[in-house]
Chains A and B, each alone.
Chain A
Amino acid sequence: MSAPGLLLVVAVAVLYSGGFYLLLQRSLMRVVLGIVMLGHAANLSLMLTDEAITLPPLLGGPQGEISDPLPQAMALTAIVITFGVTTFLLALAYRVWLGDNNDEVPDDLEDRRIGRLREPEDSS
């Protein structure tokens, strides 16, 4: 079994890195863009598994040899699901903006309150 093309590996690495970075941002819109980017990264990852990558998975072609259809089917499903998720997130971001005039992800107030708990004199 031969290794996948290095170029594709580099593209996948860049997409994952960029997606993670956007996910770590405060702006909700950039988080959505990060999820879109991670979706592309995941779809291309699936392509990595294919050896005869350039031949379409169609029977009766001239070469007789075909690429692996399973990663493609998975990627196809993933594309559509990513689309659904993205749209939903966008609607949420829109809603947050309507309520708040702001699209930033705030800190969880409850979490911060736990962090401020005073140490008791006696807890046992």
Chain B
Amino acid sequence: MLLPFLLALHAVVAALLPPLARVLGTRVFVVACLPPALTALWVLAHAPDVVAGQPVTSAVTWVPALDINLEFRVDALTLAMVLLVSGVGAVIFGYCARYFHTGERGLGRLSAVLVLFAGAMLGVVSTDNLFALYVFWELTSITSFLLIGHDDRKEHARRAALQSLVTTAGFGLPMLVGFILLGQIGGSFRISTLVADPPVGDPLLPVALVLVLAGAFAKSAQVPLHYWLPGAMIAPTPVSAYLHAAAMVKGGVYLVARLAPGFAEVDPWRALVLTFGMATMVVGGWRALRQDDLKLLLAYGTVSQLGFLTLLAGTGTQVAATATIGVLLAHGFFKSALFLTVGVIDHQTGTRSIAALSGIGRRMPVVAGAATLAAASMAGLPPLLGFVGKEAALEAYLPGGDPATALPSGAAAVVLVGVVLASVLTVGYSARFVWGAFSTKDTVAERRVPRPAAAFVAAPVSLAVLSLAAGVLPFAVDPVAQGYAAAFDTSGEPYHLALWHGLTPALGLSALVLVAGALLFHRRVTVARVQQALSRWPDADRGYHGVVHAIYVVALRVTRLLQSGSLPVYLGVILATLLALPGARLVMALASGDVAPPGAGGNELRFWNTPLEGVVALLIVVTAVATVREHRRFPALILVSAMGFGVAGLFVLYGAPDLALTLVLVETLTTIILVFVLRRLPATFGTRPDGWAKRLTVLLCAAAGTFIAVSLWLMTAARTDPPVSLGYTSLAREAGGDNLVNMILADFRALDTFGEVVVLATAAVAVTSLVLLRRSRVVEETDPGPDETEEERAGARTGEGERT
């Protein structure tokens, strides 16, 4: 099938757009239209097969060993989403050609990123592999970051872009963990396989689902993560229309709808989806009612609708699933039409504020008509698609409405009340939108504004007409809904999307909603007063800033705690970690008997290898302890040398003549060099006062040294395989040598020895250059900066905050 090529086409066209933009100006968006338009046509051509239950699939192998493949599968749900992503996308791209002015900054980048986003979104909704889904998902996060921050010279834009990225990508990470868990317990990373055969009953499944839902909720701006969506309204209006009406925010809804057939029955899926969806629905609607900026009004309206969609998509019954597709398409059409209308108004008048607009309806009757149509669809007025979807949604939660309902009647009633309440609010803000944008207000001075060009208005008008057409002809949309809803229990009579179901309770509720909503609009002054009184609600946006600030402060405090600048403290922390993790584990293993010390578990306990060893070992121990305690330089030097010769003596006893010889030579040289250096230095080391810090250091070092020696002892005792060097005997004979150590160094591992010689030579060159460099050329220490005082340097030298 063509889908991988269509995805590639998006990427290729995106790469070509920036240079083209220099030549074509805003007409570059017409070129940008091509990939989504072709995709929409392609998916429409396959629509009959897809709704008949024969998904179009294809696969490109990527990382087969990890079950990561670019598998694609276009079924009814994907069909609906592609219609939004590519179909509505193409219309919006065409609109961009009129919205932007030639010569505007960054048009090439904007068009390219928009097409990339369209491609990524197409990938999200069409892939059948969890990993590929995640990759496309994060690609949409990154491209939307670039799109929201399009006007990168505005600080607000950069902040809003960062906020949306931190929120959506930040919650994408737990989602990835959820995906991996899901794939591990389900035995496959193919989504269709997982949904068809969910690993129900696995104790980890609820964890995985919660993690996945967290990612979906952040993407679809569910309360309390909804704050980024209104913030993202800083983006150019067509971008908002595309990202925040048709495409990106639907990603979360899509994921919920995609997984619902398999997992809706698993606790706590329904509880989460219903709670968060309902809260989002009501909060979004309530806040939309009080916005003055038309775009923000739509943004909060979108939040509300996204809650509604999440609720529907996650409910997991046949009627709710049918309603999901209906509302999904309806929202995509009417919300992008409304956003584009705002774009037209903003473009012609230079403002989006309700308080500043008056008489626009008379100046732009066509735009006003289209927007009214779209707003009517949003409010759920017949005969528009919004009404059809809302009827289905009400039906889903009516007692006895859905014969296969899986909801307890109490929960269904609560949800029904919530849906009705949110619908009333929706009617209220829809009316407010139309009134605010187009009415003639006596209090506002009317301004003469230029009429928009016909081609500019074509996009919102065509989308509004689609809302009407799909509402009047619901049988065009119904097969798609049925195709998706077939995945659910259809034991009863399947519900169909239709304008007229007879005199049902749902129709009565619809009428009630319209009346109540109209009343809400009529009493808007009172409503505004109530909202004013209640506006001291906790603000999620402030919560976001609080969290980010807290992370910064904690990071600073941790840095302050750990980064003291003192080398002894750093090394001490490393040693303490060594003791705290592997050290504690070793003690636990010894205590529980998992590891038996030699002498206990049948292993012979040896004290020494030869009796003479005792004398030499004693010498080493005594000189080592004395070196540590010695504060005069020359005695310390003599003690270290004595210790070195002691070690050489051990090598003699251990049958290692080569080592002993080398060590004697090396110790002699080291001692000579030390004498040369120490000759120049003061006679004593700087000492520290005795105290608890010093005692602690001694204890720490003794414990670390003991831990290393004991673990080496236990490890060697636990050795089971013969040493590899056994084979060297015959090899040495073959090579004609008797001294095995020499054979290893000069023959078997000659390359290592060569490396060693290189190290020595490098050290020699470095030492020579360091020592022979004339004293006068010693570089003075860099001048302390203005903010660095003498005092501070002195403090650094004596090392406050030091523990030794």
Residues of A participating in the B interface, judged by any CB pair closer than 8 Å: 1-27, 29-30, 33, 36-37, 40-41, 43-45, 47-50, 53-60, 66-70, 72-73, 75-77, 79-88, 90-95, 97-100, 102-117, 119-120, 122-124
Contacts and interface: CB of A to CB of B under 8 A. Distances in A.
A107 B716 contact: no
A50 B654 contact: yes
Contacts of A67: 654-656
Given A23-B571, A70-B723, A107-B799, 15 more contacts: A5-B608, A8-B608, A11-B617, A15-B705, A20-B575, A24-B697, A24-B701, A37-B643, A44-B647, A48-B712, A72-B658, A91-B766, A99-B779, A107-B565, A107-B567
Nearest to A86: B670
Nearest to B555: A123
B366 to A, nearest CB: 43
A14 B624 contact: yes
A16 B663 CA distance: 18
B204 interface: no
22 contacts: A3-B603, A7-B609, A12-B708, A12-B709, A20-B705, A21-B698, A26-B688, A33-B640, A53-B654, A54-B654, A59-B733, A67-B654, A69-B740, A81-B756, A84-B762, A87-B670, A95-B771, A98-B775, A98-B778, A107-B566, A109-B788, A111-B563
A18 B628 contact: yes
B656 A72 contact: yes
- Which 5 pairs from chain A and chain B are nearest by CB? A17-B705, A111-B565, A16-B705, A3-B598, A13-B709
A11 B739 CA distance: 28
A19 B797 CA distance: 23
B609 to A, nearest CB: 5
A49 B716 CA distance: 6
A17 B342 CA distance: 74
A73 B752 CA distance: 11
Interface stretch (B490-498, B501-509, B673-681): B673-681
Which of A13, A17, A60 has its CB near the most chain B CB atoms (within 10 A)? A17
Interface in B432-467: none
Query: For B636, B725, B771, B779, which residue has the most chain A Cβ atoms within 10 angstroms?
Result: B725
A103 to B, nearest CB: 6
Main secondary structure of the interface of A (DSSP, over half): helix
Contacts of A57: 655-656, 739-741
A3 B745 contact: no
Interface in B657-693: 657-659, 662-663, 666, 669-670, 673-674, 677-678, 680-681, 685-686, 688
Please classify the interface of chain B as helix (H, G, I), strand (E, B), loop, or mixed, using the class held by over half of its residues. Answer: helix
Given A17-B705, A24-B571, A57-B740, A112 B564 contact: yes
Given A4-B713, A6-B606, A25 B613 contact: no
Contacts of B563: 111, 114-115
The residue in A10, A14, A50, A67 that gathers the most chain B C-beta atoms within 10 A of its C-beta is A14
A54 B771 CA distance: 42
A98 B678 CA distance: 12
Contact of A73 (B571, B651, B745): B745
Nearest to B752: A77
B662 A10 contact: no
A83 to B, nearest CB: 5
Interface stretch (B115-123, B275-283, B545-553): B545-553
Contacts of A36: 640, 644, 670
A40 B62 CA distance: 51
Contacts of A103: 681
A23 B710 CA distance: 21
B759 interface: yes
B311 to A, nearest CB: 31
Contact of B770 (A5, A48, A85, A91): A91
Contacts of A56: 655-657
A112 B570 CA distance: 13
A80 B752 CA distance: 12
A120 B704 CA distance: 40
B647 A14 contact: no
A16 B604 CA distance: 25
Contact of A5 (B613, B643, B741, B799): B613
B720 A79 contact: no
Given A18-B705, A73-B745, A79 B659 contact: yes
Contacts of B770: 91-92, 94-95
Nearest to B739: A58
Nearest to A32: B674
Nearest to A22: B628
Interface string B742-753: 011100010011
A81 B770 CA distance: 19
Interface in B525-579: 544-545, 548-549, 552-553, 556, 559-560, 563-568, 571-572, 575
Given A2-B606, A97-B681, A115 B565 contact: yes
Contacts of A55: 655
Contact of B556 (A8, A37, A119): A119
B511 interface: no
B767 interface: yes
Given A8-B613, A54-B654, A84-B759, A109 B666 contact: no
A73 B763 CA distance: 21
A20 B574 CA distance: 11
A84 B759 CA distance: 7
Contacts of B610: 54
Given A57-B739, A88-B767, A70 B725 contact: yes
Contact of B708 (A13, A66, A116): A13
Contacts of B738: 58-60
A24 B657 contact: no
A59 B729 contact: yes
A123 B548 contact: yes
Interface string B707-738: 01110110011111001110011001100011
A24 B804 contact: yes
A61 B559 CA distance: 61
Contact of B713 (A9, A22, A54): A9
